[in-house]
Structure 1
Amino acid sequence: MHGAHDQLTFDELGTPLRDTTFVVFDLETTGTKPGPDGITEIGAVKVRGGQVLGEFATLVNPGMPIPPQIVALTGITGAMVYDAPPIAQVLPAFLEFAAGAVLVAHNAPFDTGFLRAACAGYGYAWPKPAVVCTVRLARRVLSRQDTPSYRLSALAALFGAKTTPNHRALEDARATVDVLHALLELVGPLGVHSLEELIDYLPEVTPEQRRKRGMAAHLPELPGVYLFRGPNDEVLYVGTTSNLRRRVRSYFTGSESRGRIREMVGLAQRVDGIECSHALEAQIRELRLLAAHRPAYNRRSKNPRKSWWVVLTDEAFPRLSVVRVPKDGALGPFGSQAMAKLAADVLASASGLRTCTQRISAVAPSGRPCALAELGRCGAPCAGRQTAEAYFPSVQAVTQLIGGEGTVPLEEARRQLDELARAQHYEQAARRRDELAILVRAVAKAHRLTALAAIPELVAAAPDGKRGWEFAVIRHGRLASAGVARRGVPPMPVVDALVASAETVTAGPGPLFGAPAEEAGLLLRWLTRPGVRLVRTAIPWAEPARGVGGWQDWLERAATATALEQVAS
């Protein structure tokens, strides 16, 4: 392990600054608030090793009037941008010009804010490049005694830039290039020689972070799970990553700005890494470690993902109840108690189950009818108006829906929805439609999870993107083994070895056969990704024939209607 002042090895230094491609850019805009429109000009210079590789410059039609004060500042008028291309046409060309480079700007949050808003507004993915702000870098390097101002014009004059900034994009970008090079010359003697060290240098880094960066030296550049451990060997934090060494090292740099995590790094005494075959195994191991250790600095330890279930109570006149521990025949899992309660209410209303919480005797009921009974929405078994035999079809309908043997409650809920629409109660109908959609999705998810958890053994493979395969052996909704067959390696012997060494999993109680709901859900999402193939399965994996599969078209129409209402509002 490195000491407090040990020098990093060459491979840890990363990309030397002389080999780093920078795209130094500037925007002129119609105002100060970033939005998808409002850019009037883009200018950029691509440089590497002090050499200019190319330039990019264009006026942009901002799609709105240019305020007079902006015209006075930049000299860009409405007439000048009238025939200019809109940002929707300019943006892909600029993104291509800047692809793979580090973005540099003077007051970078302002300029990148406009670019990010434009990408979001016109459907382009923000490439998440490394960004260097020359204002921030100048504040770290220069004191007020060195310069009275950190404005671009002041720094350009201080460093003798060849171009004088004039609030036009390309000229300002050219001036920023000279300012950048001058600032990099100043940070060189401070030990900043690589891109990673520059990114590290920009923010304030605590002494604890710098001193402990050697904790990552022993970790491999492989996917896995990492555990920060404290003075008493307790687990402080658990995370997952595709590259253990790189991710753990980031905790000791300025890129880590979270106060709680900096505090955790100050307490940490070592970092353990668990190598995993692929990302899925790492995610599953992270779930299990979080559940086992409840680390103090993981937010999910303080707010664990709780699962809630809807069950029928065991009494003469069963009702729906929301519980934490499922039993056979439960509906779920739900991510929150409120969502489970909503689904239970919709299901009770559609099936005719009572919603009161009193226990009702099947022999001599002695209650008084409630308001729902007077409205015809409850058979009032509490007052003896409905026998257990007459009540049974409602219970059976719910049981069959959860078990995938029928959809009578959903059909009744849709009939009630149609009645509201015919009566022109449109707002109430829209609310009921959204509530019914929640119930349908919950039932569909429950059927898929239950079908997966019922399988004693399933082997699946996903392409690794390099003409190899990632394998998962799943038993009763839990990951029992994971491995890979790299390109050129025969896959089936790997599968046989993984199955032979897989964890033994016995079926447990409940609808998921004892599998943790979050782990089963993660496996289901992985299995249903494009490209994943089933290698073998002990029993067929299929959803119930009389489940909610036929409701998919209705769900899509409901989602479209909801989206249109949101746009209209």
Structure 2
Amino acid sequence: MARPAPAPALQSSLTDLGTHLSEVTFCVVDLETTGGAETDMITEFGAVKVRGGQVLGEFQTLVNPRSHIPPLIAVLTGITNTMVASAPPLREVLPAFLAFAAGTVVVAHNAPFDVGFLRRACESLDYPFPRWPVLDTAALARQILLRDEVRNCKLRTLSAHFRTAVTPNHRALTDAQATVDVLHGLIERVGNLGVGTIEDLQEFTRRVSPQRRAKRTWAADLPERPGVYLFVSEHEGERQVLYVGKSKNLRTRVRSYFTAAEKRPRIDEMVRVATGVEAVPCATGLQADVTELRLIAAHSPRYNRRSKHPDRMQWIKITEEAFPRLSVVRTVREDGATYFGPFSRRQAAEDVVLAVYDSFPLRQCTPRLSAAGTGTACALAGMGRCCAPCDGSVSPDAYGGIVAQVRDTFSADARPAVAGVRTRLLRLVDQQRFEEAATIRRRLETLTRTGARFHRVASLARCAEIVAARRDGPDWEIHVVRHGRLAASGRAGPHDVPQAVARALRATAESVLPSPAPLPAASIEEAERICDWLEQPGVRLIEITGDWAWPLHAVIDHETLVTHALGAGLDARPTAATESLG
């Protein structure tokens, strides 16, 4: 006799996406109160704890409200002043109920009413209010049941509709028991719609359109691993990428787009337009980061806002001519000039240019000057802000020394730029011209902050190859980086030899040619993501070709900047100066 086929799993494809309803412990609660507008007090607790359709326990007690129960409420509920006179006060009942409901999903009919009373009771007695997941059967019924099925969503109406074992009678335990049957009836109604978890059920109480909710099946076959997902739209054979994102768990992340947790109007519109989701599984989180950046740059998706234009960077260039000057440019070329950056905004680049002008008497005019210096000096020369190469006041060699200091500030040591304005800063502080001093400080901070970014990326770009590993749980993440570009990614499992995996990755890694210095062979953002990973604790270098290092004084931190700019006497300065510049 053939054995019967095994029963299907309760949730074969979505087990990682939430807690299955059969495993959820519900605490269905109902409260009766005195009904006063401002002095409303709890008179009775009723609760039923249930899981998988089985009742685990019941909680019921009257409460002495320490106030008068109005006659109308007494008639409605049957709870009189005499009945509650000997009942325990709230301070004795509340701890017992909190213990009974601990670790459950709290369910109530018109849950804001009951949960509101519980919250106020906790506040009045100095108990921390528990962070229960809350389910409102009234809100759930309004989303599930049709208008022609029930005339309203009152508990008595729903009790009759679902033929509950008990009839609600405005007593707390009876009403809670009826609510249990209503809850089970509602769950049964949505079972054929693919609702298998408590998270699914909660969505029905929020206004998620059926069209959006129906698309969650797109996530069912996605892998539970890092990767990149693409929302696409296909019409008449034309495919368009609408949005690109990344996640450590593709299935969970994509499914979240079809729930009430996603509230961004732009993304809601994207989901409505999309006709499908595609996934690119990755071996590591860094590979997912980089793949996302490359796909965004390749497709420029309509609904992505960041990383769409990696080429829109600004650089400061020291020109190659008899009397070099500073120029803000968009492209780094192999022309022998010195470049510094990058800058995401032109304003930041201009701040650094002004910081250099504050520190060095470099010319600020744009005409090409001859080495003879036969022109006339400008107003800046008269103010001592320019060494006036235009009228021959400085020789090309002497001017070249100033340019060399600027190059050194960009490439090796930022301290001369700070020292160049120290006297001026001290004078401004003494004169209490704090706004001007703060402007100069802001420019210096932009210079040093950009210096950190510059050397971080440039040093990575100079390395022909870096092979590094980092432990991720029982595995090792292994990456091959060439000239600042991620060339290969892999993972060594508990039974693999990491060095052998690294050798295999090197052999199959992408061939990468260097870009003009200081550019990496990838986008700036990709190089920065690689730096983020390499600088994490626990990263181990397996192989390295080149020098991955920064100059010692190329980057100045905030505290050192203040010390160099204002000297040790900063504490003796007026408090306003310290607040403005600190």
Q: TM-score, normalised by structure 2?
A: 0.68
Tell me which of 11, 17, 21 is aligned to 1:17. Answer: 21
Partner of 1:255: 261
Residue 357 of structure 2 aligns to a residue in which SS?
helix
Say whether 1:238 aligns with 2:247. Answer: no
Please show how residues 72-111 of structure 1 align to structure 2 within 5 Å: 106=111
1-structure distance, mates of 2:562, 2:105: 41
Counterpart residue type for residue 241 of structure 1: S
CA drift of 1:133 comes to 6.6
**Residue 485 and residue 504 in structure 1: after superposition, are their counterparts in 2 closer, same or farther (change >3 A)?**
same
Partner of 1:437: 445
CA drift of 1:396 comes to 0.8
Partner of 2:304: 298
Partner of 1:535: 542
2-structure distance, mates of 1:129, 1:555: 49
Tell me which of 206, 214, 217 is aligned to 2:217. Answer: 214
2-structure distance, mates of 1:567, 1:544: 27
Render the CA deviation track for 1:395-452: whole Å, top value 9, x for unaligned. Answer: 1111112221664223213443334334443343333223312211211221122111
2-structure distance, mates of 1:9, 1:395: 73
Partner of 1:227: 230
Render the CA deviation track for 1:151-188: whole Å, top value 9, x for unaligned. Answer: x9x999x99889989xxxxx9xxx99997985564344
Partner of 1:313: 319
Say whether 1:398 aligns with 2:406. Answer: yes
Tell me which of 200, 205, 215 is aligned to 2:203. Answer: 200
Partner of 1:351: 360
Residue 345 of structure 1 aligns to a residue in which SS?
helix
Aligned-residue CA RMSD (Å): 4.7
Say whether 1:336 aligns with 2:327. Answer: no
Counterpart residue type for residue 230 of structure 2: L
Counterpart residue type for residue 16 of structure 1: H
Partner of 1:186: 186
Check the 8 A contact 1:472/1:483 in 2, yes or no: yes
Residue 254 of structure 2 aligns to a residue in which SS?
helix
Counterpart residue type for residue 186 of structure 2: L
Check the 8 A contact 1:239/1:286 in 2, yes or no: yes
1-structure distance, mates of 2:551, 2:457: 11
Counterpart residue type for residue 535 of structure 2: T
**Residue 270 and residue 314 in structure 1: after superposition, are their counterparts in 2 closer, same or farther (change >3 A)?**
same
Counterpart residue type for residue 335 of structure 1: S
Render the CA deviation track for 1:283-311: whole Å, top value 9, x for unaligned. Answer: 00011111111122222366668322111
Render the CA deviation track for 1:436-482: whole Å, top value 9, x for unaligned. Answer: 12211211221122111111111111221x23211111111110111
Partner of 2:533: 526
Partner of 2:456: 448
Extract unaligned runs of 5+ from structure 2: 1-7, 31-46, 60-90, 92-97, 120-129, 566-570
Check the 8 A contact 2:476/2:493 in 1, yes or no: yes
Please show how residues 496-535 of structure 1 align to structure 2 within 5 Å: 496-535=503-542
1-structure distance, mates of 2:515, 2:138: 60
Q: TM-score, normalised by structure 1?
A: 0.70
Check the 8 A contact 1:278/1:483 in 2, yes or no: yes
Render the CA deviation track for 1:363-402: whole Å, top value 9, x for unaligned. Answer: 35435513x3333222233454444333222211111122
Residue 540 of structure 1 aligns to a residue in which SS?
coil
1-structure distance, mates of 2:138, 2:385: 67
- Choose 229-238 or 274-283, whichever is displaced more: 229-238
Render the CA deviation track for 1:173-223: whole Å, top value 9, x for unaligned. Answer: xx9999798556434413344223224323333454344433333321111
Partner of 2:560: 554
CA drift of 1:519 comes to 0.7
Partner of 1:409: 417
**Residue 337 and residue 406 in structure 1: after superposition, are their counterparts in 2 closer, same or farther (change >3 A)?**
closer
CA drift of 1:351 comes to 1.9
Please show how residues 40-189 of structure 1 align to structure 2 within 5 Å: 106=111, 137=140, 140=143, 182-183=182-183, 185-189=185-189
**Residue 316 and residue 194 in structure 1: after superposition, are their counterparts in 2 closer, same or farther (change >3 A)?**
same
**Residue 448 and residue 356 in structure 1: after superposition, are their counterparts in 2 closer, same or farther (change >3 A)?**
same
Partner of 2:283: 277
Partner of 1:374: 382
**Residue 366 and residue 539 in structure 1: after superposition, are their counterparts in 2 closer, same or farther (change >3 A)?**
closer
Residue 461 of structure 1 aligns to a residue in which SS?
strand
1-structure distance, mates of 2:323, 2:58: 78
CA drift of 1:45 comes to 11
**Residue 323 and residue 567 in structure 1: after superposition, are their counterparts in 2 closer, same or farther (change >3 A)?**
closer
Counterpart residue type for residue 304 of structure 2: N
- How many matched pairs? 476
Check the 8 A contact 2:466/2:481 in 1, yes or no: yes
Residue 341 of structure 1 aligns to a residue in which SS?
helix
**Residue 467 and residue 217 in structure 1: after superposition, are their counterparts in 2 closer, same or farther (change >3 A)?**
closer
Extract unaligned runs of 5+ from structure 1: 1-6, 27-43, 56-83, 85-93, 115-126, 166-170
Render the CA deviation track for 1:529-551: whole Å, top value 9, x for unaligned. Answer: 222222221133221245336x5
Tell me which of 460, 463, 481 is aligned to 2:488. Answer: 481
CA drift of 1:493 comes to 0.9
1-structure distance, mates of 2:309, 2:391: 43
1-structure distance, mates of 2:548, 2:480: 14
2-structure distance, mates of 1:355, 1:567: 27
2-structure distance, mates of 1:234, 1:293: 8
**Residue 281 and residue 517 in structure 1: after superposition, are their counterparts in 2 closer, same or farther (change >3 A)?**
same
2-structure distance, mates of 1:238, 1:194: 27
Partner of 2:551: 544
2-structure distance, mates of 1:439, 1:45: 65
Partner of 2:126: none
